[in-house]
């Protein structure tokens, strides 16, 4: 059952009369709740504190009347129906009340008409409230749209089919330089060149022809670029997205569109195109493949870019999503794990990546060597490696050939040296033993200093023949059991130069001749034969110098017994940095004192 509760404000000086009205309302099926007032102040208070559906007002009151009550209601700005209910009211007064704002008047002798009048007024009030809410909602929407269009940096406009603009948002001042009022006085031909106007008009006409089709999508958007003219006469390129406006009877009546200044975008696109073309030109002529590999923090790896030569070099054609798995699958199985380890190590350490390995080229059926090099850049959730892949097959072939040549040269050098050693051994067995012990100690010193095995091998060779020049010295001088004369000692000192002369034409991977030439030079320039100083002396020669002195002092000589290892160590320690290289001496001392090295 419909709830017919009714909130009634009764303006009446008699409680009995008020109850009479309440009784009539109940008879009419209402469930009234009421308040009775009889002054303007009381009415104002009641209006503020409570909500009312209807106001029933007696016309004449001792201190108040219907006209005054209507004035109070207007002052409060409330839309509540007022029905004047009176014992007797003249027609002229009744008309005045209606003009003032009363909804109706009922004479008490016709009180049966009260409930129908209330029902009518409530219905009309509901209609007015709905309209009011709709207007308020529309105003809110309009305000919302106004704010939105104000915030949008693009020009929003409407125009009729004569080309006259009928609406524009405030962005027109930024895009075209006109105020909104100025712009609305313009025609579309005022803001584009004649040539552009012809293009735009043809496009719009084409869209209108499509609109004649019953199947046409009325929400279809058409887009085009237009060269627009500003108020100051300058031009800019704009992107326009537009659609037709339709009347209620289904006919197109105009166009609504958005104009966006794309000058900067076009400039940027042009710069990017030029850069891309330059990059393509560069990468096309590079001897390798430019690539970009990413390693995300979640463990995902992939190639996001590879230059076009990927197909030419490796025979690989795939989208970037599958490129890395396909590339890995073609790497030689003996190199594959090493490849993956090199990648993960570079990622974990955020260091540059460098790898050499073999890969199978499907298109040619060949196995080639490649080298990959890349540098990392840390991004928010990933590391990106920018690098290059090179075909190093020819280099590897050259390296292998060179290694073969070096191995052959080493064998030849070794054979030559062995012949020389044998010759010296036959002439002076002591010197041959001395050379081998010096070579072993020199290699130990070099290894302690962290030199490469290649360098150590060269030092071993040089040490084994460092006194080869003594072949030119008479045997009786070399084996003389007494102290040498000045002339004899001068002859012995010539063995460094003689050794150089013997070895300078021997092909070798190392500077054997020069090392032999310098092994009696000293850091302070007091050595012989050329009085070289400091770094003028090869490091290998500085190492041989220390090893030679230690072995000579600690071993038996033809003209004296051994002076002992302690004397040898004391000699190099005392003259460290003066006669002998500081680092070499330090390494030699460490060998004997900390590691227990023995001369054998």
CA distance 62 to 533: 132
- How long is the chain? 600
Q: In 10 A of CB 360, how many CB atoms?
A: 16
List, in sequence order, the alpha helices (H) in 28-113: 40-49, 66-75, 91-100
CA distance 55 to 228: 63
- Nearest in space to 433 (alpha carbons), one of 463, 472, 476, 469: 463
**CA-to-CA separations, 77 to 70, 87, 123, 356, in angstroms, rounded:** 11, 29, 20, 88
Q: In 10 A of CB 505, how many CB atoms?
A: 7
Q: What is the pLDDT of residue 250?
A: 81
Q: What is the largest CA-CA distance in the chain?
A: 167
Q: What is the pLDDT of residue 281?
A: 63
CA distance 146 to 170: 10
Give the pLDDT confidence of 48-83 residue by residue, as tens digits.
Answer: 999 999 999 887 777 788 888 888 998 988 889 999
Q: What is the pLDDT of residue 423?
A: 59
Q: In 10 A of CB 583, how many CB atoms?
A: 16
Residues in contact with 210: Cβ distance below 8 Å, sequence separation at least 6, in sequence order: 216, 220
- Inter-residue contact 387 to 294 (CB < 8 Å): no
Q: In 10 A of CB 569, how many CB atoms?
A: 18
CA distance 82 to 123: 13
Q: In 10 A of CB 191, how many CB atoms?
A: 25
- Inter-residue contact 375 to 385 (CB < 8 Å): yes
Q: What is the pLDDT of residue 350?
A: 92
Q: Is the peptide bond before 80 cis (omega within 30 degrees of 0)?
A: no
Which residue's structure tokens are 């490469």? 452
Q: Is 166 helix (H, G, I), strand (E, B) or coil?
A: strand
- Nearest in space to 172 (alpha carbons), one of 158, 190, 154, 187: 154
User: Beta strand pairing status for 5-11 and 54-57?
Assistant: parallel
pTM: 0.39
Q: In 10 A of CB 41, how many CB atoms?
A: 11
Tokens at 324, concatenated: 């890395």
Which residue's structure tokens are 């209609």? 127
Computed from CA positions of residues 330, 331, 336, 339, in that sequence, does the dihedral angle turn out positive or negative?
Answer: negative
User: Beta strand pairing status for 155-160 and 252-261?
Assistant: antiparallel
* Sheet-wide strand order for 5-11: 31-37, 5-11, 54-57, 82-86, 104-107
Residues in contact with 96: Cβ distance below 8 Å, sequence separation at least 6, in sequence order: 67
Give the pLDDT confidence of 541-568 residue by residue, as tens digits.
Answer: 999 999 999 998 988 776 677 788 999 9
Which residue's structure tokens are 């309209």? 131
**Ramachandran quadrant class, 29 (left: phi over 0; alpha: psi -120 to 50; beta: rest):** left
In sequence order, the β-bridge partners of residue 358 are: 369
- Nearest in space to 228 (alpha carbons), one of 192, 265, 181: 192
Q: What is the pLDDT of residue 473?
A: 75
CA distance 161 to 211: 14
Give the pLDDT confidence of 437-478 residue by residue, as tens digits.
Answer: 899 999 999 999 999 999 999 999 899 888 888 777 776 676
Q: Is 575 helix (H, G, I), strand (E, B) or coil?
A: coil
**For 470, which DSSP code?**
G
- Inter-residue contact 21 to 36 (CB < 8 Å): no
Which residue's structure tokens are 């400039």? 267
Q: What is the pLDDT of residue 1?
A: 43
**CA-to-CA separations, 295 to 163, 175, 346, in angstroms, rounded:** 56, 44, 10
Per residue of the chain (600 residues), give pLDDT as tens: 466 899 999 998 889 888 999 999 999 899 999 999 989 899 999 999 999 999 998 877 777 888 888 889 989 888 899 998 887 777 777 777 788 888 888 888 888 888 998 899 888 888 888 888 877 877 777 677 677 777 788 999 998 888 899 999 889 999 999 999 999 999 999 999 888 899 888 888 888 788 778 888 888 888 889 999 999 999 999 999 998 888 888 888 888 999 999 988 888 888 888 777 776 665 565 678 888 899 999 999 998 888 877 777 787 776 777 888 889 999 999 999 999 999 999 999 999 999 999 999 888 888 989 998 999 999 888 999 998 888 888 888 887 886 676 666 566 666 666 666 665 665 566 665 788 889 999 999 999 999 999 999 999 989 988 888 877 777 667 667 677 777 777 777 788 898 898 888 877 788 889 999 999 999 999 999 999 999 999 999 999 999 999 998 988 776 677 788 999 999 999 999 999 999 999 999 999 999 999 887
Whole-number CA gyration radius for the chain = 54
Task: Please report how the helices 565-574 and 539-554 are oriented relative to each other, as an axis angle in degrees rounded to 10.
Answer: 140
- Inter-residue contact 370 to 359 (CB < 8 Å): yes
Task: Please report how the helices 429-448 and 393-427 are oriented relative to each other, as an axis angle in degrees rounded to 10.
Answer: 140
Question: Which own/partner contact pairs does 370-374 have at CB distance under 8 Å and 24+ positions apart?
Answer: 370/313, 370/314, 374/291, 374/293, 374/346
């Amino acid at each position: 059952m419909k709830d017919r509760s009714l909130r009634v404000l009764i303006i009446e000086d008699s409680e009995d009369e008020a109850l009479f009205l309440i009784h009539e309302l109940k008879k009419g099926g209402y469930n009234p709740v009421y308040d009775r007032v009889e002054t303007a102040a009381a009415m104002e208070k009641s209006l503020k504190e409570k909500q009312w559906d209807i106001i029933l007002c007696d016309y004449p009151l001792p201190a108040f009347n219907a006209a005054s009550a209507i004035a109070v209601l207007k002052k409060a700005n409330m839309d509540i129906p007022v029905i004047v209910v009176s014992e007797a009211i003249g027609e002229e007064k009744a008309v005045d009340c209606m003009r003032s704002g009363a909804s109706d008047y009922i004479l008490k002798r016709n009180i049966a008409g009260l409930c129908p009048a209330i029902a009518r007024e409530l219905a009309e009030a509901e209609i007015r409230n709905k309209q009011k809410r709709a207007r308020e909602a529309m105003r809110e929407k309009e305000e919302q749209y106004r704010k939105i269009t104000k915030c949008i940096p693009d020009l929003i406009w409407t125009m009729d089919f004569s080309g006259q603009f009928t609406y524009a948002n405030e962005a027109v001042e930024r895009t075209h330089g006109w105020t909104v009022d100025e712009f609305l006085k313009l025609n579309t031909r005022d803001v584009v060149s004649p040539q552009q106007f012809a293009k735009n008009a043809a496009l719009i006409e084409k869209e209108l022809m499509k609109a004649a089709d019953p199947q046409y999508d009325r929400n279809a958007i058409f887009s085009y670029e237009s060269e627009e003219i500003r108020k100051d006469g300058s031009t800019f390129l704009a992107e326009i997205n537009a659609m037709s406006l339709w009347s209620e009877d289904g006919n197109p009546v105009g166009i609504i569109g958005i104009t966006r200044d794309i000058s900067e975008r076009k400039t940027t696109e042009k710069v990017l195109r030029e850069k891309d073309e330059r990059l393509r030109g560069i990468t096309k002529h590079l001897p390798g493949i430019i690539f970009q590999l990413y390693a995300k923090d979640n463990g995902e790896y992939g190639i996001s870019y590879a230059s076009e030569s990927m197909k030419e070099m490796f025979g690989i054609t795939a989208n970037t999503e599958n490129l890395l798995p396909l590339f890995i699958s073609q790497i030689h199985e003996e190199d594959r794990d090493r490849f993956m380890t090199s990648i993960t190590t570079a990622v974990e350490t955020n260091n540059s990546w460098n790898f050499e390995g073999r890969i199978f080229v499907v298109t040619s059926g060949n196995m080639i060597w490649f080298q990959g090099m890349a540098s990392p850049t840390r991004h928010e959730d990933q590391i990106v490696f920018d690098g290059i892949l090179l075909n190093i097959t020819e280099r590897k072939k050259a390296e292998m050939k060179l290694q073969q040549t070096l191995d052959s040269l080493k064998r030849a050098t070794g054979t030559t040296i062995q012949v020389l050693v044998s010759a010296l051994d036959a002439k002076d067995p002591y010197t041959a033993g001395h050379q081998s012990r010096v070579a072993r100690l020199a290699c130990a010193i070099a290894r302690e200093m962290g030199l490469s095995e290649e360098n150590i091998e060269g030092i071993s060779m040089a040490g084994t023949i460092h006194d080869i020049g003594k072949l030119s010295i008479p045997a009786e001088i070399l084996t003389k059991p007494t102290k040498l004369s000045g002339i004899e000692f001068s002859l012995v000192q010539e063995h460094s130069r003689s050794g150089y002369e013997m070895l300078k034409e021997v092909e070798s991977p190392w500077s054997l001749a020069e090392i032999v030439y310098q092994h009696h030079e000293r850091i302070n320039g007091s050595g012989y034969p050329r009085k070289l100083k400091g770094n003028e002396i090869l490091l290998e020669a500085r190492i041989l110098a220390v090893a030679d002195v230690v072995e000579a002092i600690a071993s038996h000589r033809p003209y004296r017994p051994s002076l002992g290892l302690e004397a040898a160590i004391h000699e190099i320690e005392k003259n460290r940095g003066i006669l002998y290289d500081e680092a070499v001496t330090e390494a030699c001392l460490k060998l004997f004192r900390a590691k227990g090295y023995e001369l054998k």
